[in-house]
Structure 1
Amino acid sequence: MGFTEMPSKERRLGDAVENFLETKRKKKRPEQTIKGYRWMIKKVNRALTEAGYDPYPNKWTEDTVNFLLDDVYCESQPGVVRREFSILNSYLMFHGNDIKEKMELEWQEDERKNVHWLTFAQARTIEQEAKGFERIVVHLELHIGLRRVEVLRLTVKDIQMGYFNVLGKGRRGGKWRQNPFDPETNAELNHFFELRDMEIRKARAKNPAVVVPDNLLIYERGGELFPYKRTAVDGMLKRIQERTGVEFSNHVLRRQFAKELHMSGEPISKISELLGHKDEKTTKLYIGIDMDQKVDSMNRLAQWRAQQTAQMGLPQNRGIFDEASKVSGQSGNHHSIEPDGPFSNVNNLWPFVLAAAC
């Protein structure tokens, strides 16, 4: 009597993917689209397997989804997350798993929210309006540069004399780094631990045998203490948004941290280390270049060219100001334009710009 060989786990997982894709093929989805679905689902399955999660679709739990959001998609634009999770949800539902539906996840509507920076004034407004536990979350992301998942993973033991031990992305493969305090950190921690101790006292009043988690962020409910989850942290920031009218996310605060470091003159290499980036190219995306910086660059270039021209004894390139000086009766030096003349307002130069363009 022969024995039927049981299919391997990899084969069963592959069949689960292909069976789902076949339903899309029957709905006349283009093969190129189906190919994209396959690539995306396999990418997610590899990440789950490497992190020690069961990738089979009917085994996904809330922890599985949170891992993907906090580690795999944490730096993706909201539009990408929304689209890919829509496909993943169809994949799960096909296999009888409605965990994503039960979690009632909310997505940012505007994709640009994940790629903009705050103004300096907006960042300070957020800090001033943060209350209670909100203060430490804002401080850790805006002043220390932590990811949301890193904030949630922080334990009391990770707080050292003058620095945090930070466990980076990856359930098992996350790398540790050390991020130093900034001048305000001690005061923020003192305020936070007063609130944390209040939560512990409330729990012990109801349940003297309550177990206190090592997690830094904890809350009391029914005499028990629980670590904060990503939805609770997101809720904190949402309340600050409602009070201030400033739109931002956990990731925007972290990007702002990088931006302000760059504006203060810190080199890319140091910023990259503080952010826990493997590649400085990623750090450069965080920093970005705004219009004011572009204008400053152009002004510095013009000054350098003028200096080089003067040193070489060459005539200045007067360009459009030649025409302006002819009309105003002044010399070719654009600094001598009459204060109240026809070119004292830059808008009066537009006729010459248009003439040159024609």
Structure 2
Amino acid sequence: MTEPKLLDQARHIMRIKHYSYRTEQTYIHWMTRFILFNKRPDGVIPHPRDLGAAEVEAFLSHLAVEGHVAASTQNVAMQAVLFLYHQVLHIELTGINALRARQDKRLPVVLTRAEVQRVLEHIHDPTARLQAKLLYGAGMRLLECLRLRVKDIDFGQHHIVLRDTKGNEDRVTLLPEQLIPLLHEHLRHIQSLHQADLKAGFGAVYLPDALERKYPNASKEWAWQYVFPASKRSVDPRSGQTRRHHADDSTLQRAVREAVKASGIAKLASCHTFRHSFATHLLEGGYDIRTVQELLGHKDVKTTMIYTHVLNKGPLGVRSPLDSPST
């Protein structure tokens, strides 16, 4: 079996290119799925070098037709397989005409301001509640919140710098004034935890790109610590070092799911719903759509415009004639 060596090569190249660990895991998953999909009736698994565009096309079509995957999932699978061929095997594939998964056009789930408050009130863990308030008050994505570093909260300028966001770009968003005292109190607790880690011989965090080699002591500095660290130290799967990673995303996801259920709100709300609600409520408040686009980090204003369809006056902001005063 040569597949493990091949996948190890893929991992190595992704790490050279500074792909995130989650992307690495996702790509390896789809590469493995593609390889096993081409297993022959006699049990032999051919090397991807012996396959080509036709097999890639068949795999992607299978995901759409029989796997019923979303268009975004099929696209990630395609990018993973193309990475395998282009970056690892150095084979250029052309003429891939797979059946495409249908791109569903669905409106985002949005909570009213009152519903947001009800959900927040039912998140009983103080740290999880603070995280949820940041998602809503600053329009963050879940991982943007969890990957936040101490140095990127600017209390003086009342803003937060989000690093390496979707699209590998930085952006600046709001720091809600209401959260400033809560964050100061939270950071005092986290700093005590960091000091305890340092005394125990630990205290380092993961640094992006080559910063750890360039600044060997920076990983233990307070400025680089995660605002929301994990409750326990763990072994970094790449370096093998024992570190305190950021908090796991499943913890907040579970807390929000339980809070929505406890609040009695009949909406399929999740952590991302806070971001949708942030954008919608800003537009309701009269803020310019370009400003909202910049805060959300959307490259195209068309992406932001979807929130104009869920404003509190119905589709497209139109008022029903039933509700209009008679003339």
State the TM-score, normalizing by the size of structure 2: 0.56
Residue equivalent to 2:171 = 177
1:270 counterpart = 2:264 = no
Q: Judge conservation of contact 1:200–1:220 (CA < 8 Å) in 2.
A: no
The one of 213, 231, 247 equivalent to 1:228 is 247
Residue equivalent to 2:116 = 123
User: Does the C-alpha gap of structure 1 residues 157 and 17 become closer, same or farther in structure 2, counting only changes over 3 Å?
Assistant: farther
Residue equivalent to 1:210 = 202
Q: Which structure has the larger Rg over C-alpha atoms?
A: 1
Q: Which amino acid aligns with 2:228?
A: L
1:33 counterpart = 2:57 = no
Q: Distance in 1 between matches of 2:284 and 2:303?
A: 17
Give the gaps of 5 or more residues in structure 2. 1-9, 11-30, 32-46, 89-101, 206-224, 235-242
Cα-Cα RMSD: 4.6
Paired-residue identity, %: 18
Superposition deviation, residue 137 in structure 1: 1.3
Residue equivalent to 1:164 = 160
User: Does the C-alpha gap of structure 1 residues 128 and 201 become closer, same or farther in structure 2, counting only changes over 3 Å?
Assistant: farther
User: Does the C-alpha gap of structure 1 residues 208 and 257 become closer, same or farther in structure 2, counting only changes over 3 Å?
Assistant: same
Superposition deviation, residue 35 in structure 1: 12
The one of 127, 146, 150 equivalent to 2:140 is 146
Higher RCO by CA contacts (8 Å cutoff, separation 6 or greater) = 2
1:219 counterpart = 2:219 = no
Number of residue-to-residue matches in the alignment: 236
SS across alignment from 1:209: coil
- Worse-superposed segment, 177-186 or 250-259: 177-186
Superposition deviation, residue 143 in structure 1: 0.4
- Worse-superposed segment, 207-216 or 143-152: 207-216
User: Does the C-alpha gap of structure 1 residues 238 and 201 become closer, same or farther in structure 2, counting only changes over 3 Å?
Assistant: farther
User: Does the C-alpha gap of structure 1 residues 302 and 256 become closer, same or farther in structure 2, counting only changes over 3 Å?
Assistant: closer
Q: Judge conservation of contact 2:230–2:248 (CA < 8 Å) in 1.
A: no
Q: Distance in 2 between matches of 1:263 and 1:274?
A: 15
Q: Which amino acid aligns with 1:244?
A: S
Residue equivalent to 1:297 = 319
Superposition deviation, residue 252 in structure 1: 0.7
User: Does the C-alpha gap of structure 1 residues 227 and 249 become closer, same or farther in structure 2, counting only changes over 3 Å?
Assistant: same
Q: Which amino acid aligns with 2:226?
A: N
Superposition deviation, residue 159 in structure 1: 1.2
Residue equivalent to 1:249 = 270
Q: Judge conservation of contact 1:141–1:253 (CA < 8 Å) in 2.
A: yes
The one of 1, 10, 15 equivalent to 2:51 is 15
Q: Judge conservation of contact 1:167–1:177 (CA < 8 Å) in 2.
A: yes
User: Does the C-alpha gap of structure 1 residues 221 and 292 become closer, same or farther in structure 2, counting only changes over 3 Å?
Assistant: same
Superposition deviation, residue 153 in structure 1: 2.2
User: Does the C-alpha gap of structure 1 residues 48 and 229 become closer, same or farther in structure 2, counting only changes over 3 Å?
Assistant: farther
Superposition deviation, residue 21 in structure 1: 7.0
Q: Distance in 2 between matches of 1:24 and 1:268?
A: 37
Superposition deviation, residue 276 in structure 1: 0.5
Give the gaps of 5 or more residues in structure 1. 1-8, 60-78, 82-110, 304-333, 336-358
State the TM-score, normalizing by the size of structure 1: 0.52
Residue equivalent to 2:16 = none
Q: Distance in 1 between matches of 2:307 and 2:50?
A: 36
Superposition deviation, residue 235 in structure 1: 2.3
User: Does the C-alpha gap of structure 1 residues 137 and 19 become closer, same or farther in structure 2, counting only changes over 3 Å?
Assistant: same
Q: Which amino acid aligns with 1:163?
A: H
